[in-house]
Amino acid sequence: MRCLNSSSTAVSDPLRPAQHTLTPHHHISVTGGSSGIGKCIAIECYKQGAFITLVARDESKLVQAKKEVEKSAINDKQVVLCISVDVSKDYSQVESVIKQAQEKLGPVDMLVNCAGMSVSGKFEEVDVERFRGLMEVNYLGSVYPTRAVITTMKERRMGRVVFVSSQAGQLGLFGYTAYSASKFALRGLAEALQMEVKPYNIYVTVSYPPDTDTPCLTEENKTKPLETKLISETSGVCQPEQVAKVIVKDAVQGNFNSSVGPDGYMLSALTCGMSPVTSITEGLQQIVTMGLFRTIALFYLGSFDSIVRRCMIQREQSKAADKRE
């Protein structure tokens, strides 16, 4: 049975989808699946018996990731398919390779859009082409694969689509003018898409992971401004395996928001706005906690502004001292 839900027709509850779990032979496609959170999501799904399509640009990393995922097999019928393609450049090419994957492993039951990159730096110091590049990878790199699977999902009246955003897609922080904008865009896409596909029993999940110990974070830290580093240090760094478990659980349950830890829960409640809720209880919790969380958030924002001011003052004092010498 391939269906992610207990019924192949739209659920009757207007808020909460039917409870379900991954079952063997579900086809899960993961973009950005060669490393980091994407690879860990693939492993988590493979442990539950799913068939996996890994999508990424680097063929050598894909081959290595395939070997790591296959170690988690629970039966000898499972398959890991690798596709080397840039999901942000050519929609027709993305559509073609996704079609090939579906011909081999069956229709995609759950698409996880995890391909992404991060750039940090002061607004005027980030090359304008980096703004374009981030929007292509982080936003269009999610639009194209989703377009490639959504029609089939609607025809089958079932499916899950996951967009991996970031906590920087919930609030803008110093140094993330390019990155935050591309991650904020995913939420707008997800909210509009969820309204379109919900009658077809398709549920969208947006994940907002905090800083996570991935190759992307390691690369970003090499050029991260001091202010951004100090602000980031106010919260810890999560492990990709932990984040992956949360994302898979929330996606399978049909939750729109997926967050990690107390800070993540608070941010999701604070920034819920007009986002869909999965249950009446979730909505009531947001209403009750909004005032308290807003108070806490104001203290956080005050401390972030203080960090930025101190760094600016120290930098100006250092420049003045250099001039005197």
Query: For the chain, what's the residue count?
Result: 325
Cα–chain center distance at 189:
13
Can you give the pLDDT at residue 20? 60
Amino acid letter for position 183: K
From CA 290, how far away is CA 299, in angstroms rounded? 15
How many Cα atoms sit within 13 Å of 206 on the Cβ side?
A: 28
Catalytic residue among 165, 166, 182, 259: 165
Residue 99: closest CA among 91, 89, 107: 107
Residue 175: closest CA among 227, 128, 132: 227
Catalytic residue among 144, 179, 203, 208: 179
Residues in the chain with pLDDT < 70? Answer: 1-24, 325
Residue 85 backbone phi and psi in degrees, to 5 = -160, 150
Is 180 a catalytic site residue? no
Cα–chain center distance at 236:
18
Is 8 a catalytic site residue? no
Is 179 a catalytic site residue? yes
Catalytic residue among 39, 61, 66, 183: 183
The two three-digit tokens of residue 227, written as one number? 């202010």
Can you give the pLDDT at residue 247? 97
From CA 52, how far away is CA 80, in angstroms rounded? 5
- Alpha helices of 237-279 — where are they, by DSSP H? 240-253, 261-270
pTM above 0.85, yes or no: yes
DSSP β-bridge partners for residue 55: 31, 83
Can you give the pLDDT at residue 15? 57
